Structure 1
């Protein structure tokens, strides 16, 4: 039976500390209500995986089931895994979070151009000199989400770096480039060795692997259209990770334990570093207004919030056919990990998170804006 298989997998991944407050029947009912094709879920308590389950289909057209080892798109959950790797470099003294880019690259930033970004347009704006790894990890570099979203598709800085939050994959691209050009690192290899291999994430990679094709999830859009899985060949710290729910459970359990980081760096990862005053996360460059919204702040590669139980933190991942979310409450020592190959799953995330974590103050309206579920 399906629940027996899920129980045995959870034991193999770290034992069962207590019964999760979420039932398979309840999840299935929510999926039927919103016509969600596939969803995978993990619950973590005290650094151990206590529930691992998958529901629905990885491909409806071929009637293929979604399984715990099905390859799914990690999307922006990649950013937190990358941040975790960066903090390992900080622990080793190979990088300082507050070193300006002028000391991290051999040449001035505007002299660089790569396959993604031409930095020459920054030559007339000296604010690029203020950029640091911390600023880039807190999404406060002043960039749009991606430079190709600019009217002229040229990179520009919209506000003083470090002064406010504006979600930016472009900033994460830049930090990846700094590690490659300034430290001479191969980011794919570092992620593989420091994160994926270390935590036993056998089916996770920063680029497409041919063996993934045997058990692969295709995606489903808001109108139910199937989108084939993108075989990403370029390594992107902002979002190229392919993974499974079993592997993500291992990773986030390690994050909760702080494994692979000093206590100081683990605390730095989730520490509220920059108050967020925007009313919603997207669009990224809307003017800020008023006091910080719902007590939320930028951590490093994730977002912290003030929960009724104490510190909470989360990270989402999204594209037109993917919905991912991780929410953790430090005081309760509990996390829920959600991967969906159907973007409509985002409609039920608040209910699923409440089932697992109990009443909480996760800022859904900020995360999803006007599209935030009302139930």
Structure 2
């Protein structure tokens, strides 16, 4: 009798493994925004062709259908000079994907009533904002009293993106003085600002007496099984499966193992881990409906001609048709496929892009460890999920096969 039970047990296990292999092997076609399908073979072929044409050394891709991950694959090298290949558990640099995760974390803290989106941030602190060394340059501009968490998350603080680079220049040179100032009345318009996220991080860490990595580990990463993700480096990540970046001059970009978290850009992750996070957001898990809707509702309409330089007087109506705007941690647009939210991540040799079409349940995540990575984003996205209304011109996009 036991022998027969064992037989049926092993048959069941074998059947499960066969089914799992088929699912993990991603043999099904992927659904695009217009309802058409693209096969895995077509995806592989197109990606390999684009990578070769644009000299992209490594690329990770995830696609969601019906709010769930249906395609997850890595291509190319985690370290080309060493000949080591990327896989879906390879640690890569998230760059400004960090801001999307931080925005989600903040909404959890708002829901828990740890912080209010509209209470001036200085009212949470023991000292005036300019009394903190990092923001000392603001001592002669009282407009810091106006800044709220909502403004930080929607990029409306008037603070620069990175204090070491002039936010009014297209290709700014590094400035060792790094004077920080407020360029316009907080809350009055959009201008991408990593320093705004830095300010909000400082406030949250003083309120909670925990750094943002501790908060994210507890509230996001561990609950979602994102075991290889952090705003700082964790020894548990190990050193045997970590990507380097590939610069166009041939240099290899080794990301330092951070011990201090930066809300705007220190997160390391894997394509498998980040797909879990995006699936969680798409499925509206972890937040109340009220918090979710607020996070992905327009806080400010964007009229700037380009996203960078962030501080500019040049405006346009070119993106009015797609309702280009910013929510809380995410960019927003609305076109023929309904509402979508997106986030870019750009740090030298690390180029990332994610866009999520809520009504369609379709997302794509691209993470490249190559300076040329983003040059194939438009063609890649249109091949894998279809024609979109992504404002490529506003984002300053240049394709691999066109002159800037």
TM, length-normalised to structure 1: 0.91
Q: How many residue pairs get matched?
A: 364
Higher normalized helix content (fraction of residues): 1
Alignment pair present for 1:181 and 2:197: no
Q: Give runs of aligned pairs for residues 52-201 of structure 1, distance below 5 A.
A: 52-113=72-133, 117=134, 119-150=135-166, 152-201=177-226
Q: C-alpha displacement at 1:268, in angstroms?
A: 1.5
Q: C-alpha displacement at 1:206, in angstroms?
A: 1.2
Answer yes or no: is the 8 Å Cα contact 1:278–1:293 preserved in 2: no
Q: C-alpha displacement at 1:357, in angstroms?
A: 2.3
Structure 1 148/364 Cα, relative in aligned 2: closer, same or farther at 3 Å? same
Structure 1 40/202 Cα, relative in aligned 2: closer, same or farther at 3 Å? same
Alignment pair present for 1:313 and 2:341: yes
Structure 1 142/94 Cα, relative in aligned 2: closer, same or farther at 3 Å? same
- How many Å separate the matches in 2 of 1:10 and 1:97? 46
Structure 1 159/374 Cα, relative in aligned 2: closer, same or farther at 3 Å? farther
Q: C-alpha displacement at 1:292, in angstroms?
A: 6.5
Structure 1 103/64 Cα, relative in aligned 2: closer, same or farther at 3 Å? same
Answer yes or no: is the 8 Å Cα contact 1:222–1:320 preserved in 2: no
Aligned equivalent of 2:256: 230
- How many Å separate the matches in 1 of 2:231 and 2:182? 28
Q: C-alpha displacement at 1:231, in angstroms?
A: 2.0
- How many Å separate the matches in 1 of 2:20 and 2:154? 38
Alignment pair present for 1:271 and 2:297: yes
Provide Cα deviations, 1:130-174, integer angstroms capped at 9, x if missing partner.
100000001111011122225642211000001111111111011
Moved more, 267-276 or 61-70: 267-276
- How many Å separate the matches in 2 of 1:281 and 1:9? 43
- How many Å separate the matches in 2 of 1:89 and 1:273? 18
What SS is found at the alignment partner of 1:53? strand
Moved more, 229-238 or 274-283: 229-238
Provide Cα deviations, 1:271-319, integer angstroms capped at 9, x if missing partner.
1210111111111112142437353111111100122212112101011
Q: 1:31 is matched with which residue: 32, 51, 56?
A: 51
Alignment pair present for 1:346 and 2:374: yes
- How many Å separate the matches in 1 of 2:336 and 2:115? 35
What SS is found at the alignment partner of 1:364? coil
Aligned equivalent of 1:246: 272
> Any stretches of 5+ residues in structure 1 without a counterpart?
none
- How many Å separate the matches in 2 of 1:331 and 1:299? 17
Structure 1 109/307 Cα, relative in aligned 2: closer, same or farther at 3 Å? same
What SS is found at the alignment partner of 2:285? coil
Provide Cα deviations, 1:154-204, integer angstroms capped at 9, x if missing partner.
211000001111111111011000001234332111011111111110111
- How many Å separate the matches in 2 of 1:363 and 1:374? 18
> Any stretches of 5+ residues in structure 2 without a counterpart?
1-16, 32-37, 167-174
TM, length-normalised to structure 2: 0.85
- How many Å separate the matches in 2 of 1:90 and 1:206? 20
Aligned equivalent of 2:30: 19
What SS is found at the alignment partner of 2:355? strand
What SS is found at the alignment partner of 2:373? helix
Alignment pair present for 1:328 and 2:339: no
Structure 1 355/349 Cα, relative in aligned 2: closer, same or farther at 3 Å? same
Moved more, 153-162 or 120-129: 120-129
- How many Å separate the matches in 2 of 1:98 and 1:287? 26
Answer yes or no: is the 8 Å Cα contact 1:365–1:372 preserved in 2: no
- How many Å separate the matches in 1 of 2:146 and 2:29? 47
- How many Å separate the matches in 2 of 1:9 and 1:176? 42
Provide Cα deviations, 1:303-336, integer angstroms capped at 9, x if missing partner.
0012221211210101111100001111211000
Moved more, 349-358 or 51-60: 349-358
Q: C-alpha displacement at 1:102, in angstroms?
A: 2.9
Q: Which contiguous aligned blocks of 4+ residues in structure 1 show a shift greater than 4 angstroms?
A: 7-13, 15-18, 372-375
Aligned equivalent of 1:221: 247
- How many Å separate the matches in 1 of 2:20 and 2:87? 14
Provide Cα deviations, 1:17-74, integer angstroms capped at 9, x if missing partner.
9635361111111111111100000001222110000000001111000000000001
- How many Å separate the matches in 1 of 2:85 and 2:62? 17
Answer yes or no: is the 8 Å Cα contact 1:76–1:238 preserved in 2: yes
Name the larger-Rg structure: 2
